[in-house]
Amino acid sequence: MEAMQGMQACMARVDRSALKRLQEQAERAQGEIRSLCRVGNEAGAQTQAMGLARQMASDPNLKMMQACLAQLPQLPMVQAMLPTSKLGVDEPSQGDQPRSICERLK
C-alpha cells in the first residue's frame, strides 16, 4: 500500500499536458510515417521513426513516468507496461527476422 502511494505521488509530478502534446506529436508522426511508406519511401519512414523514438526515449516526463512505475515491479500489470528495451520496443527473439518500419505498420 505504501509503495502504491509513493508511486501515485511520483506520478503526480509528471506533466500531463507535456505527455498529451507528446502523444499528439507521435500520432502525427505515425501518419507521416505511414504516408512515407505508402509512397515507397521506406528509408524516410525509418529515419522519421528513429527520430521519434530517440525523442521519446530522452523525454524527461516519459523517463519520470517509467521511474514511477518501476517502484512497483512486483505487480504483473506494471511489468506489462515497462518497456523490454531502451526504446520500448520488443527485441526480436532468436530466429525472428527484423522487419522494416513499413512492414510493422501494416
Q: Considering the domain boundaries, does residue 91 fall inside one?
A: no
Give the count of domains, the chain. Answer: 1
Q: In which domain, by residue range, is 54 found?
A: 2-83+98-104
The whole-number pLDDT of residue 42 equals 94
Q: Check: CB of residue 68 under 8 Å from CB of residue 81.
A: no
CB atoms within 10 A of CB 85: 9
Instruction: Give this prediction's pTM.
Output: 0.66
* In-domain check, residue 93: no
Within a domain: 62: yes
Is 89 a domain residue? no
Instruction: Decide if 61 contacts 10 (C-beta within 8 A).
Output: no
Q: What is the pLDDT of residue 51?
A: 93
- Is 56 part of any domain? yes
Q: pLDDT 10s per residue in the chain (106 long)?
A: 677 788 788 889 999 999 899 899 999 999 999 999 999 999 999 999 999 999 999 999 999 988 887 777 666 665 666 555 444 444 455 456 667 889 888 7
Would 14 be classed as within a structural domain? yes
Nearest C-alpha neighbor of 69 from the set 1, 5, 11: 11
In a domain, 50, yes or no: yes
